[in-house]
Structure 1
Amino acid sequence: MSYSKKEALELWVREMGDKEYSYDFTGRKIKRDDYLEKNQVGWVISFVKPLSLGGKATADNAIILHHLTNEEKGDHFPIFTARSRTYEIKYDKGHDFHYIEIIIEEDEEDKYFI
């Protein structure tokens, strides 16, 4: 499924607010006006659970990603690597949506927990 520029910008405002720049979940910087651009701040709309694996083409499953993050994620499900970090896609049955969580390795716990 592809989004028109107008639809993509509507999703941007819903997810990122009315900012010119933001970041995807990996921390890559993206620019509102660079939808479908393959440059330093270009972005695309993808799906948390890939459509090819039964994901729904809905706004709740849509996610804004830097184009490089999207290439790394691809159709990997439920575990994938992006920017040398491992992530897991989880499902919340009560609210019927998928979300992405970073996997913290044991040797990294000291960075996040005191």
Structure 2
Amino acid sequence: MSKYKTVKVWNKVFGNRETVFDYAGREMRKSACGDPHSAYHPTLDHIRPLSLGGSDVAGNIVICHRDTNAEKADKFPHWKTNRQLFRADRIKGTRTDYEIIKL
């Protein structure tokens, strides 16, 4: 479990926007934060999973749709979600921060 809260990360990343799309193209809505029954439920995901040596730091956290998160699961550094391939690259000059690249 992350020390970060979905709505706080949303506000930092997306500001006041109510609707956005995650990196896999799935629609998320701010009003669905905390509602796992919503079709637009955003979640927090560790790009490099904690189980694979990832850290619970902002540079390793991404906000994404619950289905994107479930399909990615603990796959790293390559995975497929929403019928697309992705990989995680460590950001140069950091030890714990990653970016997601669409292949």
Q: Which runs of 5+ in 2 are unaligned?
A: none
Larger relative contact order (C-alpha < 8 A, sep ≥ 6)?
A: 2
Structure of greater Rg: 1
How many residue pairs align between the two structures?
101
User: For residues 86 and 8 of structure 1, what CA distance do their matches in structure 2 show?
Assistant: 25
Offset, 1:33: 1.9
**For residues 51-84 of structure 1, what are the alpha-carbon distances to aligned partners after superposition, in whole Å with 9 as ceiling and x for unaligned?**
1111110112111010000011100011000111
Match of 1:46 in 2: 45
Give the counterpart of 1:35 among 33, 36, 60: 33
User: For residues 38 and 71 of structure 1, what CA distance do their matches in structure 2 show?
Assistant: 14
User: For residues 74 and 30 of structure 1, what CA distance do their matches in structure 2 show?
Assistant: 18
Identity %: 28
Letter in 2 for 1:18: N
Contact 1:47–1:55 (CA under 8 A) maintained in structure 2: yes
What is the alpha-carbon root mean square deviation over aligned residues? 1.6
Q: Which runs of 5+ in 1 are unaligned?
A: 104-114
User: For residues 2 and 78 of structure 1, what CA distance do their matches in structure 2 show?
Assistant: 20
The normalised TM-score by structure 1 is 0.80
The normalised TM-score by structure 2 is 0.88
